[in-house]
């Protein structure tokens, strides 16, 4: 005679195993200094020190089919104003989930630890060196520099161009300071906190992600080094339709450090570019970001070219190569140097489009004792100053103006103009600050 099954005991054992498998454990994220924002998989969940109760199966493999398991990788971002953000993967995996019979029931991940701690570094200690931008030369007639051959542009620029790679793929970046600050696209960085950077010299670096701006699809990285080769940035107003440009990058299905050449086909916003390119507006809005000004070029830009420099005839960066219009041959886009300069000015307040103090308006006939002094600053830094319709330099600047009425206009790419009528008095001193709102956001 078979013994009777004690269903009450069986139920008790099953419930006990179930509870043990799903008993909660505490997950913690801390930082120094505290008070940093914590994002997990792009969702803000709190500030440091952050704690959350999660199933025990997220830390160790559960023993029963009832157990909870972590079914995807978890990405954490810790950020605090004034400090470099940190991003990292929280789990190991994937691993196969199999039952007692060996049947594969899917994949799972396990948290690496129950406490994640990051030490945040101040931006001022990271963004070292300085940014160089060309002088603002308004027209070809005023440009006395000799253009470089394509071979010379490549020889000068290539040492500062890097191949960036992760386990997901590769792209391009370029150095903008001697101290190792790199510019690339946000989509090249993806979810990673560091990338491998290879120079044409064969040298390899670890490039740490410092800052990402998804609105402009730009990112700033840093490698350790001194006296590294770097590229100068072109003044935004010096970029003109019809200019020759060269793109350097690492296209898919091609060799590293590939060179393509073309011209600037158009300059404008999303709507303007869609009209000139013939590409569907919704397609461009899906790929383009924010209020950026875009350089359209027929220089080939393919996958892997993203994040590389678009250079003018003097080897200066006029844009950051970003994308091509799918199925539209000869229609490719780069984020403008103006948007890049505005981004860099957040970390380098002295960044402007002048490599030397701006020259004041011609005033040989104005005696120093009669002239009035007008000091002009701007937000964003580096905006163009016009006096009575004539370009005089970039802000900040101090001008000597003759007594009388003058019209001061300040302009910047992607911003609404700032204008004032000013009566300059003999021996007077006036300070002006031009705040230029983003177009459409006044």
Contact 388, 407 (CB under 8 A): yes
302-327: per-residue pLDDT in tens? 777 889 999 999 999 999 998 766 55
Give the contacts of 11 (CB within 8 A, at least 6 positions apart).
none
Chain position carrying tokens 């830390």: 59
Residue 270: pLDDT over 80: no
| pLDDT value, residue 222 | 94
Please report which confidence band the pLDDT of residue 381 belongs to, taking 50, 70 and 90 as the band edges.
confident
423 vs 172, which has greater pLDDT? 172
**Model pTM above 0.85:** no
Residue 258, domain extent:
127-344
- Average of per-residue pLDDT across 190-194: 83
The total of other beta-carbon atoms located within 10 Å of residue 272's CB is: 14
- Average of per-residue pLDDT across 319-347: 82
Chain position carrying tokens 């953000």: 85
Contact 222, 167 (CB under 8 A): no
- Average of per-residue pLDDT across 399-428: 85
| pLDDT value, residue 49 | 96
Please report which confidence band the pLDDT of residue 65 belongs to, taking 50, 70 and 90 as the band edges.
low
Cβ-based burial of 191 (10 A; exposed 0-12, middle 13-18, buried ≥19):
middle
| pLDDT value, residue 140 | 45
Residue 81: pLDDT over 80: yes
Inside any domain, residue 358: no
Inside any domain, residue 338: yes
Contact 148, 156 (CB under 8 A): yes
Give the contacts of 23 (CB within 8 A, at least 6 positions apart).
55, 56
| pLDDT value, residue 66 | 61
Residue 393: pLDDT over 90: no
- Average of per-residue pLDDT across 272-276: 47
Inside any domain, residue 304: yes
Domain boundary at 102, 121, 140, which? Answer: 121
Asked if 132 and 236 sit in the same domain, the reply is yes
Q: How far is CA 55 from the centre of its chain?
A: 37
Contact 134, 238 (CB under 8 A): yes
421: its two tokens: 């009528």
Asked if 310 and 223 sit in the same domain, the reply is yes
* Start-to-end C-alpha separation, the chain: 89
Asked if 85 and 34 sit in the same domain, the reply is yes
Asked if 151 and 298 sit in the same domain, the reply is yes
The alpha-helical segments, DSSP class H, found in 269-422 are: 270-277, 281-287, 337-344
- Average of per-residue pLDDT across 122-137: 79
Asked if 336 and 412 sit in the same domain, the reply is no
Residue 363: pLDDT over 60: no
Total domain count, the chain = 3
Contact 349, 377 (CB under 8 A): no
Please report which confidence band the pLDDT of residue 24 belongs to, taking 50, 70 and 90 as the band edges.
confident
| pLDDT value, residue 271 | 56
275 vs 214, which has greater pLDDT? 214
The alpha-helical segments, DSSP class H, found in 139-180 are: 150-157
Asked if 95 and 223 sit in the same domain, the reply is no
Please report which confidence band the pLDDT of residue 330 belongs to, taking 50, 70 and 90 as the band edges.
low
Domain boundary at 121, 142, 174, which? Answer: 121
| pLDDT value, residue 291 | 64
Return mean pLDDT, the chain: 79
CATH number of the domain within which 406 lies: 2.60.40.1120
Please report which confidence band the pLDDT of residue 350 belongs to, taking 50, 70 and 90 as the band edges.
confident
Asked if 224 and 304 sit in the same domain, the reply is yes
CATH number of the domain within which 162 lies: 2.40.10.120
Asked if 148 and 104 sit in the same domain, the reply is no
d(CA 200, CA 198): 7
- Average of per-residue pLDDT across 155-180: 92
């Amino acid at each position: 005679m078979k013994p009777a099954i004690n269903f009450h005991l069986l139920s008790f054992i099953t419930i006990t195993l179930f509870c043990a498998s799903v008993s909660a454990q505490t997950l913690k994220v801390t930082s120094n200094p505290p008070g940093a924002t914590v994002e997990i998989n792009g969702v803000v969940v709190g500030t440091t020190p952050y704690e959350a109760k999660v199933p025990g199966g997220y830390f160790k493999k559960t023993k029963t089919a009832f157990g909870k398991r972590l079914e995807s990788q978890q990405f954490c971002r810790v950020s605090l104003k004034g400090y470099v953000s940190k991003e990292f993967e929280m789990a190991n995996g994937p691993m196969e989930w199999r039952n007692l019979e060996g049947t594969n029931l899917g994949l799972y991940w396990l948290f690496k630890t129950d406490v994640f701690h990051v030490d945040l570094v101040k931006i001022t200690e990271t963004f070292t060196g300085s940014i160089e931008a060309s002088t603002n030369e308004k027209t070809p007639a005023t440009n006395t520099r000799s253009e470089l051959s394509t071979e010379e542009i490549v020889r000068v620029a290539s040492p500062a161009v890097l191949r960036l790679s992760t386990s997901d793929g590769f792209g391009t970046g370029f150095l903008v300071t001697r101290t190792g600050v790199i510019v690339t696209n946000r989509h090249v960085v993806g979810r990673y906190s560091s990338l491998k950077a290879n120079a044409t010299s064969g040298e390899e670096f670890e490039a740490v992600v410092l800052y990402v701006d998804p609105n402009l699809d730009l990112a700033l990285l840093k490698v350790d080094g001194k006296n590294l080769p770097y590229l100068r940035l072109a003044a935004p107003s010096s970029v003109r339709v019809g200019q020759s440009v060269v793109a350097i990058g690492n296209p898919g299905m091609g060799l590293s450090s590939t060179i393509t050449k073309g011209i600037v086909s158009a300059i404008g916003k999303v709507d303007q570019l869609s009209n000139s390119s013939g590409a569907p507006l919704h397609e461009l809005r899906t790929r383009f970001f924010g209020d950026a000004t875009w350089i359209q070029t027929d220089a080939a830009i393919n996958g892997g070219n993203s994040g590389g420099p678009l250079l003018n005839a003097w080897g200066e960066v006029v844009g950051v190569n970003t994308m091509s219009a799918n199925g539209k041959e000869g229609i490719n886009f780069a984020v403008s140097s103006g948007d890049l300069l505005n981004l860099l000015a957040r970390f380098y307040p002295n960044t402007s489009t002048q490599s030397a103090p701006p020259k004041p308006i011609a005033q040989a006939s104005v005696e120093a004792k009669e002239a009035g002094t007008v000091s002009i600053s701007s937000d964003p830094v580096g905006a163009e100053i016009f006096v009575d319709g004539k370009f005089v330099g970039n802000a900040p600047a101090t001008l000597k103006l003759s007594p009388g009425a003058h019209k001061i206009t300040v302009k910047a790419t992607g911003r609404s103009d700032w204008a004032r009528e000013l009566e300059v008095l003999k021996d007077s001193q006036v300070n002006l600050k031009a705040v230029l709102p983003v177009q459409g956001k006044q």
